[in-house]
Amino acid sequence: MTLDQVRRRLAKPKTSAQLCLLGVCAGLIAAILIILFRLMIELVQSFFLDSHDDFTTLAQHQRLLLPVGAALIIALFASLTGFKHYRLGIPFVINRIKHHYGHMPIWNSVNQFFGGGIALICGFSVGREGPSVHMGATGASVLTERLHLPHNAARTLAGCGVAAGIAASFNTPLAAVIFVMEVVLREYKIHIFVPIMLAAVTGALATQVVFGNVSELSLIQIEMLSFWHYPYLIVCGFALGAIAFAFNQNLMLIIKTFKPISMFPRLLLAGLIAGLIGYLVPEAMGSGMSAIKLAVETPDNLQLLTTIFIAKLLATLFAIGLGIPGGLIGPVIGLGVIMGTLMAFFAQFISPDTAVAGTYGVLGMAGLLAATLHAPLAALTAVMELTSNPQIVVPAMLIISTAYVTALQVFGNRSIFLQQLDFQGLPYQVSPAKEALQKVGIVEEMEEDFKLLYSNDKEQIKETLSAVDSQTPLIVYDEETGYQLAEYDLTLISDDSATIKYVPLQGLSTQATLAEAFELLKDKRSGAVYVYNQKDSLQIMGVVRWDKLRHILTMRNSLL
């Protein structure tokens, strides 16, 4: 099968072996980028830390100066592009997938790779999943651009890159698939589910080869909870929903408050705040995994855990809010585990003979994650994969549901990613018609049986129209008017002669989708577009008329 035949096959909104294979390739590219990213972090940290992501062994002045120096390096590196390419992380990726078919600007990705790496190396309270998602989408974008794949396939492959990024970051392939469907693409379609699933598996397997098959919560011991814990879990769910709302509100408050300040001093301020917090509470530094370890080792030290929770909450809010490149899922996981461990203090009175701190730590993570991101199913699958313990499922479902509904209905909380997109003015909503048409490549529905005439001679045009079938489009071209569709004007036809009308045509490449044709024709609700070869704009491949788009939207409900 030639590459052109593969492109034709990918234009169809159906599962195919070709799309699945490309999904695996996108997942492998994403995994390689993330493996390099994680190795860079661990290698550099090995020069000054005794243990990865554990900053407690550093001297006080080192903990103060390290984030400040990192912020200065990040700001200097970003200033090389004039901060024009500094929109980073999951919200930016959502916008690019929804409105640009996953095409990722390369300089944004460079800023994300080095900026996110420096931030994580030097102890900022940010997660590695933000850079991982960004780089995964970029790897898929490069693949689709190199192969000139249809945009509908590029959108699916961008989702594959994101899924591989999440899976490679946390070793949670199933949660990665659900996250992409629930948060990024915000839809469930079988023809995109399968390649995304394969990409997530590829990302997870590739990182397991390098880092081993371990999870972030493997240290936590899970104990089965009795029925008497369930009423208390509902109370915990209420508390986690309120905390999630407070987290989102305060993060957006910081973003809005410091927006008028230019990027350079904003990043330096973030470094200074992180340095001061690290100076006082070193356990609050890092991505959140060190906080999990501490919660496991000292579940009864309520004063220490409370101090770390407050310090890490502030460190995360100011790091993300002031523009440090990195994700927030990692810190939210750490905060949730600490919060759940604190809640276990009262739960121990329900079953004094059972050590429930680990179980509540995992449940706290699940509830806070679901309510903060508006991703209850992704949070549930993450808990299942990270603990590998089926006993956690029922209590996790209860606390996730309570936290999510509380945050949504009681406090009116929204996904933090969508709030960030709204503030940045980046659109993420797409009309149902456009979203349906985005799934179909234009070459799948174009009329290939057409006549092309390089002449504006009216007699020749009439003769050609008379010679061809009435359903065959006639495209005429001259240098002055460009491409036009010539057809009989049925409103002015008479017994003696027929009048010809000319419909101006705009061109779209064979990479385009029907949604792009819809955007060009929707105002007039008539007309047509011609389709040209993406490698040679003079090679006309076909025509798509408005009537065709209308028929697809009204008759082919399977797309909607």
User: Does residue 335 sit in the same domain as residue 402?
Assistant: yes
CATH number of the CATH domain containing 448: 3.10.580.10
User: Does residue 145 sit in the same domain as residue 215?
Assistant: yes
Position 294 scores a pLDDT of 80
Position 389 scores a pLDDT of 84
Structure tokens at 86: 């500094």
Of 84-93, 500-509, 511-520, the range with the lowest mean pLDDT is 84-93
User: Does residue 398 sit in the same domain as residue 535?
Assistant: no
Q: Are strands 528-533 and 506-509 parallel, antiparallel or unpaired?
A: parallel
| Cα–Cα dist 152/8, whole Å | 11
CATH number of the CATH domain containing 66: 1.10.3080.10
Position 3 scores a pLDDT of 86
Tell if the pTM clears 0.85, that is, is over it: yes
Which of these, 291, 7, 301, 9, lies nearest to 150 by C-alpha position? 7
Position 212 scores a pLDDT of 87
User: Does residue 382 sit in the same domain as residue 460?
Assistant: no
User: Does residue 376 sit in the same domain as residue 490?
Assistant: no
Q: What percent of the chain has pLDDT over 90?
A: 57
Q: 432 or 382: whose pLDDT is higher?
A: 382
Position 370 scores a pLDDT of 96
Q: Which of 410, 429, 448 is a domain's end point?
A: 429
Strand 474-478: give its sheet, edge to edge: 451-453, 474-478, 482-488, 500-504
| Cα–Cα dist 201/386, whole Å | 15
User: Does residue 25 sit in the same domain as residue 169?
Assistant: yes
For the cut 90, the answer to whether the pLDDT of residue 552 exceeds it is: no
How far apart, in Å, do the first and last CA atoms of the chain sit? 31
Residue 492: which pLDDT band, with cuts at 50, 70 and 90? Answer: low
Q: Torsions phi, psi of 83, nearest 5? A: 60, 15
For the cut 80, the answer to whether the pLDDT of residue 214 exceeds it is: no
Q: In the predicted model, what is the mean pLDDT of residues 195-220?
A: 88
Q: In the predicted model, what is the mean pLDDT of residues 335-357?
A: 88
10-58 pLDDT, tens digit each = 998 888 999 999 999 999 999 999 999 999 999 999 999 988 888 988 9
User: Does residue 47 sit in the same domain as residue 74?
Assistant: yes
Name the domain count of the chain. Answer: 2
Paired with 531 in beta bridges are: 508, 542
For the cut 70, the answer to whether the pLDDT of residue 494 exceeds it is: no
528-550 pLDDT, tens digit each = 999 999 888 888 999 999 988 98
Q: In the predicted model, what is the mean pLDDT of residues 219-235?
A: 88
For the cut 90, the answer to whether the pLDDT of residue 396 exceeds it is: yes
Q: What percent of the chain has pLDDT over 70?
A: 96
Of 94-98, 149-153, 302-306, 524-528, the range with the lowest mean pLDDT is 524-528
Q: In the predicted model, what is the mean pLDDT of residues 270-290?
A: 91
Position 559 scores a pLDDT of 53
| Cα–Cα dist 260/128, whole Å | 27
User: Does residue 252 sit in the same domain as residue 325?
Assistant: yes
Q: Which of 380, 398, 429 is a domain's end point?
A: 429
Q: In the predicted model, what is the mean pLDDT of residues 504-518?
A: 92
For the cut 80, the answer to whether the pLDDT of residue 509 exceeds it is: yes
User: Does residue 46 sit in the same domain as residue 27?
Assistant: yes
User: Does residue 422 sit in the same domain as residue 447?
Assistant: no
Position 349 scores a pLDDT of 84
User: Does residue 485 sit in the same domain as residue 360?
Assistant: no
Residue 312: which pLDDT band, with cuts at 50, 70 and 90? Answer: very high
Enter the DSSP assignment of 324. -
The domain containing residue 532 runs over which residues?
438-559
Q: Could you count the other beta carbons within 10 Å of the beta carbon of residue 268?
A: 16
Q: In the predicted model, what is the mean pLDDT of residues 459-469?
A: 79
Q: Are strands 528-533 and 536-545 parallel, antiparallel or unpaired?
A: antiparallel
Q: Which of 429, 449, 469 is a domain's end point?
A: 429
User: Does residue 200 sit in the same domain as residue 79?
Assistant: yes
